[in-house]
Structure 1
Amino acid sequence: MEYGRPYVVSSPARFRISLRIWHPEVRGDDITGMLGLSPKISYSAGDKRVTPKGTELTGFRTETFWSHEWLVGDSFEVAVAGISAKLLEKAEFLRHLKETGGRLEYFIGWFSTENSGFVLEHRLLKLISDLKINLAFDIYAER
């Protein structure tokens, strides 16, 4: 299927994009291997709980969490389209994660000092939907 080229809107905003995955069973190392991406954060169901600094906590992780952040220099629309096109090669694995109880999302941090925006065309939204990836936006007003 042809998803087309993104429609680009000039925006003064900065942004960050991460793929975040939660799963009840699949191990973080398996996600890393299947996607060929290095996680910024990864822990697996059954791992001992620890703080980000490594201090042990009581109990064990109840689900796997895995996150990869891309360093992008393109416009938001071009970055999302490029990332999604690359992940299309892994669509079967992403669908497997979703079908076996996982959750997938692009976590987008949007930082702006003034009004800003973007357009995600229907073809790009279809691609993201076909990958079973949700969109989560955190909007930050910078002063």
Structure 2
Amino acid sequence: MNTEYFTISIRTWHPVVPAEALIAAIGLEPDVAYSVGSRRTNPSGELLDGFYRTSYCTFGLLRKAPGDFTEALAPLLDQLENNQATFHHIALTGGRTELYVGVFFEGSSGFTLGTADMRRLAELSLELSIEVYP
């Protein structure tokens, strides 16, 4: 018996736009955010050597949802349509935004991403990153 679940987040990077501006433009509460030029820290907030080279934000959309992530993709892309201009602007000004999917399973697993979903990702200027955890 296969047990499979997934998580989906938005991750965005930008070489000059501060994290606060990315957060405001995307309109979601970030799980992690830091701005270009700010001092690096570890997850507990302790200062590290150096400064961040880019701004970065991650926004959790779905956490530990059961089943195949491809079934959740179309409704999620519908919800993100309002952010199309923001994602385009990020890409056109040197940044990038991705839909990050973590797939967790026991046994074997696989998926097919349909052309309609691939087209919609491209139209939204979203890259797709999938990490598989057996």
- Answer yes or no: same fold by TM over 0.5: yes
Number of matched pairs: 131
Give the distance between the partners of 1:18 and 1:122, measured in 2 at CA: 21
Structure 2 length-normalised TM = 0.88
Match for 1:109 among 102, 113, 118?
Answer: 102
Letter in 1 for 2:43: P
Letter in 2 for 1:44: S
8 Å CA contact 1:77, 1:120 repeated in 2:
yes
Match for 1:67 among 58, 70, 73?
Answer: 58
Match for 1:30 among 21, 45, 48?
Answer: 21
Alignment of 1:1-143 (within 5 A): 12-71=3-62, 73=65, 75-141=68-134
Question: Greater share of strand residues, 1 or 2?
Answer: 2
8 Å CA contact 1:110, 1:139 repeated in 2:
yes
Structure 1 length-normalised TM = 0.83
8 Å CA contact 2:9, 2:62 repeated in 1:
no
Give the distance between the partners of 2:45 and 2:71, measured in 1 at CA: 37
Letter in 2 for 1:82: P
Q: Could you list the runs of 5+ residues in structure 1 that have no partner in the other structure?
A: 1-10
SS at match of 1:71: strand
Give the distance between the partners of 1:12 and 1:58, measured in 2 at CA: 41
Q: Could you list the runs of 5+ residues in structure 2 that have no partner in the other structure?
A: none
SS at match of 1:13: strand
Q: C-alpha root-mean-square deviation of aligned residues, in Å?
A: 1.7
8 Å CA contact 1:12, 1:116 repeated in 2:
no
Query: C-alpha displacement at 1:86, in angstroms?
Result: 1.4
